[in-house]
Amino acid sequence: MTMVQAPAPVSSTGGDLLDVLTRGADRHADRVAVRDADGTVLTHRELWAAARAEAAGLVARGTGPEDRVGVLAERTAGTVVAVLAVLLTGAAYVPVDPATPRERREESLTRAGVREVVDGARLGRVPRHPEDHAGGRSTPVPAASLAYVLHTSGSTGQPKGVMIERGSVASFVTAARELFAVTAEDRVLQFSSFAFDTSVFEVFTALAAGAELVVAGRAERSDVFALARMIRDHGVTVADIPPSVLELIDPAEVPGLRLILSGGEPCSGALAERWAPSVRFWHGYGPTETTVAAAAGVPDRGRAAGMARVPLGEGIGEAELRVVDAHLAPVGDGSVGELCVGGPVVGRGYWRAPAATALAFVPDPEPTAPGARLYRTGDMVRRDAHGQLLYLSRRDRQVKVNGVRVEPGEIETVLRRDPAVRQALVDAFEVRGRELLAAVVTGRGLDAAEVRARLAAWFPTWMVPERVLVLDAMPRTLTDKVDRLALTTLLEGEAPGAAGSPGGLDGFTALEHRVATELFAPALGSVPASPLEDYFGMGGNSLEAIRMLAAVPEIFGVEVPVADFIADSSVAAVARAVAGAQRNEAARDDG
């Protein structure tokens, strides 16, 4: 077993993590703790009994503090059981999403040195003789012990394992529960994948408060209509939903919501304004390295209405926000600097990556506790005249696509493994008002579809470029830099209405023509050449699919079930689904 030398822990008022998480069970043992889309319902007593039963097996096999245990994280109550079981042993959980390609999933687990993998899908049953004390737990584990390792995109071609300690989680959960006033009367939506740290807020804050966690399934994750129904039908009151999904939901459809936390990607003042009359709307900010969210704020309705991005907010709990120059010296209000985060929420570092850790996690020049460090976020910000932190840009190449951090260098490294590829460039480009991740490669005998397919076999869907350009040579400026304007022009040249795009769309029925031009083209940036063209085969991603299907009722007056779209995402199939739904609607009207 490989032991990791932990830095001196920074004092935290969060307390012992398991004490924090079991408080709700101690007070509300027989209230529902978690329900999932498969129909599994567990009380707090049952949830912890199931977790203790699984933990006993892990301990018997030698699992303990500083060990890592993989969790195959299906969107089920069983995965909550698995996560708690690992924490009860004193070990750290390493979640992997089953939707991630197998090879990448296995590499992440291997690199993390996991002892074993627990499949959340097989858990969730209550043991025959549950212990009477719902909040029972193991021997206290030091706050400096690992709680979890989450993988983010890495510039070296390998995902980075972010190590977060138990004291950091306890500090964040305690502060978040207080800040957002989560109580046992709340029902908290779990929308995020367990592989992302938003799930830490959703799951742990709900448990600490004795609230009910409502786990959204894959259908609700990919269908905003199903998501709104789940929120409404299960009386969800608290939700963390990214702006790009939130903008597709009508506030009137989810009247029970009292609080929304939205972050991970740019949040406009207009979106905050649209939700503000009906809910308490918070914007959240924070890298994985600083335990979920380091800052949050309620946008000022007067000042934020016209903003493309609302302010980042103020530090949550013990998180310290500082704007510094290249030498970590503070900069004055109005000056541009890098945002650094300090306090007990700062993670331990990157798993088995001392060089990367040393660059990002630096000694605090103004320490408030022994061993205090700052995390350099790489986000360039400034404080405005009202003292609000405004995001400006990145100091490195990292981009955010659909709310997920992506290091273009990681994708470029995989592209260059192909000996036919001479050059590779991956970046976010704004094409006709929409930001998309694109890959540009040069070389002989390359096919764009095949290049994208190879990437899809290795990366999760959110990291696969929507578009792949194959060129003879990379366009360059007079100073020999890559000509991004020329690349953007090339990407726009394939967009709807551009020269060379299909004009009459021969071979399309009238309805297929409308589907191709009014649904597919805005989502994909190009017009399908045939009714048999497949949405995902053309580079479509799941988020744009959600947007596209959400537009169907407005354009055609009917809904297309997500399950039908997943089964066949060709233009022809969507047209058939629209026609069938319209016939059914007409028949109901006649009846």
Residue 72 in tokens: 């195959």
Non-local CB neighbours of 231 within 8 Å, separated by 6+ positions: 189, 239, 254, 256, 257
Distance of CA 123 to the CA centre of its chain: 24
pLDDT tier, 156 (very low <50, low <70, confident <90, very high otherwise): low
- The pLDDT of residue 67 is 96
Q: What's residue 432's pLDDT? A: 67
Neighbours of 579 (CB within 10 A): 16
If one compares 577 and 403, the residue with the highest pLDDT of the two is 577
Q: How far apart are CA 519 and CA 573, in angstroms?
A: 13
How far is it, in rounded angstroms, from Cα 164 to Cα 246?
A: 28
pLDDT at 494 exceeding the cut of 60: no
Mean pLDDT confidence for 451-455:
88
Q: Which has the higher per-residue pLDDT, 125 or 447?
A: 447
Q: Is 483 helix (H, G, I), strand (E, B) or coil?
A: coil
- The label of the residue with tokens 């992506």 reads 406
Q: Name the β-bridge partners of 380.
A: 338, 393
Q: Which two tokens stand for residue 284?
A: 């959240």
209: pLDDT strictly greater than 60: yes
| Max mean pLDDT range (44-53, 136-145, 541-550) | 44-53
In this structure, are residues 389 and 379 in contact, taking their beta carbons and an 8 Å threshold?
no
Residue 171 main-chain phi, psi, to 5 deg: -60, -50
- Mean pLDDT to the nearest integer, 391-420: 82
Confidence of residue 591 (pLDDT cuts 50, 70, 90): low
CA distance 28 to 43: 9
State the burial class of residue 101 (Cβ atoms within 10 Å of its Cβ: 0-12, 13-18, 19+).
middle
For 266-283, the DSSP string reads ---HHHHHHHTTTSEEEE
pLDDT value at 333 more than 60:
yes
> Mean pLDDT, the chain, as a whole number?
86
Q: 460 and 196 in contact (C-beta within 8 Å)?
A: no
Q: Which residues contact 133 (CB under 8 A, 6 or more apart)?
A: none
User: What kind and span of H or E run contains 589?
Assistant: helix 571-590
Domains and CATH numbers, the chain: 17-364+374-383 (3.40.50.12780), 407-492 (3.30.300.30), 510-590 (1.10.1200.10)
pLDDT at 205: 98
Judged by average pLDDT, the poorest of 66-80, 215-229, 280-294, 497-511 is 497-511
pLDDT of residue 505 exceeding 70, the answer is: no
Out of 168-172, 223-227, 486-490, 536-540, the most confident range is: 168-172
Query: Under a CB-based contact definition with an 8 Å cutoff, are residues 165 and 146 in contact?
Result: yes
- Closest alpha carbon to 496 in 525, 520, 518: 525
Whether the Cβ atoms of residue 259 and residue 201 lie closer than 8 Å to each other: no
The rounded percent of the chain whose pLDDT value lies above 90 is 46
| Tokens matching residue 201 | 């807020």
* Mean pLDDT for the stretch of residues 367-381: 91
Looking at residue 130, its pLDDT comes to 54
Per the CB < 8 A criterion, the answer to whether 397 and 409 are in contact is yes
CA distances from 283 to 271, 272, 317, 367 (A): 11, 8, 15, 28
Take residue 453 and report the two structure tokens written for it: 């397919």
* Neighbouring C-beta atoms of residue 135, cutoff 10 Å: 18
Please tell me the predicted confidence (pLDDT) of residue 131. 56
List, for residues 340-362, the tens digit of each pLDDT value: 999 999 999 999 999 999 999 99
Residue 339 CA to residue 361 CA, distance in Å, equals 13
Tell me the DSSP string of 349-404.
Answer: EETT-HHHHHHHEEE-SS-SSTT-EEEEEEEEEEE-TTS-EEEEEESSS-EEETTE
Cα–Cα distance between 138 and 90 in angstroms, integer?
A: 8
Lowest mean pLDDT of 15-24, 120-129, 153-162, 373-382, name the range.
120-129
Mind listing the pLDDT tens digit for each residue in 317-328? 999 999 999 999
Confidence check: pLDDT of 12 > 80: no
Nearest to 287 by CA among 110, 168, 117: 168
Q: Quote the pLDDT of residue 404.
A: 76
Q: pLDDT (tens digit, 9 = 90+) per residue, 16-71?
A: 899 999 988 899 999 999 999 999 999 999 999 999 999 999 999 999 999 999 99
- The residue ranking higher by pLDDT, 524 or 79, is 79
Q: Express each pLDDT in 422-436 by its tens digit.
A: 888 998 887 766 677
Mean pLDDT of 458-475: 85
Is 416 within 8 Å of 401 (Cβ atoms)? no
Terminal Cα-to-Cα distance of the chain (whole angstroms): 70
